[in-house]
Amino acid sequence: MEPIRNQLDRAHAAYVAGNPAESEAMYRSILATAPDTVPALVGLAAILSTSGRLEEASLLEARAYIQPPWDGKPHKILATCHYRLGQFDEAARCYRAWLAEDPDNEIARHHLAACSGQGVPDRAPDRYVAALFDGMADQFDHRLVSILAYDGPGILRSILADIIPADKSRDILDAGCGTGLCGPVLAPMARRLTGVDLSQAMLDKARARGVYDRLIHGELTAFLQNRPAGIDPTDFDPTKFDLIVMADSLIYFGDLGGVFDAVAGSLRPGGLFAFTLELLPQDDAAPELALRPSGRYAHGTRHWTRCLAERGFHIRRSEAIVIRQEFCQPIHGVAVLAEVPAADGNRLPPRRSDQPRDDAAARNP
């Protein structure tokens, strides 16, 4: 049999000569007999990336990275690669090694819980959320929109369509506002637009958009309970809101009861609550909620509909959505618009469209 080194040289030469299909076939032939050959994994990944086959390319890159030697390879990246390959026990081992070197690292601790299923917190710790988003603020918009195909603003615009006019008449809270991606959608509806987020670096990006009247550095539940971190209570305006938005924020909460309590207590009568969630499969054996290896929580329809109903919310609209792409695969979720009862028991004045569109709650009682 021809030595692998010679096969690799021929595959590379074919690619350089402008014959990617021939090179691809050679690399695949090598990997069929020697699946851990790093140059073949890397070479094939490059060909696939160039031709737009990003999902398979990312798998090959992960396979290449986890091959020895491991000296000098960050535990974080090794863990991510193992997670990408569905090797959650190995990912957990890498997170443990990371924690051994840096015992106070909240990112390693949270993802260890996510991959191992041990010590799962009720919600993502504040220090984890702040560290995670402070670290990615500069690249957040590009990564989320261009790479992960996130369209929170478009989803929000759809769920609010025909319900709230662009008449600057509402007091609106963007809870977990991040860099303010949803701010331009909300501003035309808002008399006063407030944003709150745990990441100061993200808030700095949101401030640069120039659409928020007030930006608060704090945890959103504490803010809703009128105990905003770092704010003098005498300077805090306790005015309640007409609309509270949590776009891609509740994926960092487990049981939604507490945060829904805070929302219900912070809306005026007839106020609206718009949010998105990652969804778990809907079958009898599925749990109501789970911390996924990604470090984000997903929820079953039974959980979020029950939590809303117990707090008197009426579901105005719910839509099945794709929240983002992860490793080129869609992450399925739901966008919901719920309403608290008006003081007199009547609902808000009827709009042109008041029926759920693709009502997930109706399909999954």
Specify the 3-state DSSP secondary structure of 322: strand
Please list the ranges in the chain whose pLDDT falls under 70: 1, 227-239, 284, 343-365
In a domain, residue 163? The reply is: yes
Give the pLDDT confidence score for residue 285 in this predicted structure.
74
Are residues 247 and 170 part of one domain? yes
Are residues 50 and 93 part of one domain? no
In a domain, residue 208? The reply is: yes
Are residues 356 and 299 part of one domain? yes
Give the pLDDT confidence score for residue 146 in this predicted structure.
80
Give the pLDDT confidence score for residue 363 in this predicted structure.
34
- Cα separation, 238 vs 231, whole angstroms: 12
In a domain, residue 127? The reply is: no
Give the pLDDT confidence score for residue 355 in this predicted structure.
39
pLDDT tens digits for range 135-165: 999 998 888 888 788 899 999 999 999 999 9
Q: What's the domain count of the chain?
A: 3
Give the pLDDT confidence score for residue 329 in this predicted structure.
85
Are residues 47 and 82 part of one domain? no
Tell me, what CATH number does 57's domain have? Answer: 1.25.40.10
Are residues 15 and 163 part of one domain? no
Are residues 173 and 222 part of one domain? yes
Query: What is the distance of C-alpha 264 from the center of its chain?
Result: 23
Give the pLDDT confidence score for residue 350 in this predicted structure.
39
Length of the chain (residues) = 365
In a domain, residue 129? The reply is: no
Are residues 182 and 287 part of one domain? yes
Tell me, what CATH number does 189's domain have? Answer: 3.40.50.150
Q: Which domain holds residue 280?
A: 135-363
Give the pLDDT confidence score for residue 91 in this predicted structure.
98
Are residues 339 and 229 part of one domain? yes
Give the pLDDT confidence score for residue 360 in this predicted structure.
38
Backbone angles phi, psi at 163, to 5 degrees: -105, -50
Are residues 335 and 190 part of one domain? yes
> Facing residues of 319 across strands?
335
pTM of the model: 0.85
Give the pLDDT confidence score for residue 286 in this predicted structure.
76
In a domain, residue 245? The reply is: yes
Query: What is the distance of C-alpha 340 from the center of its chain?
Result: 26
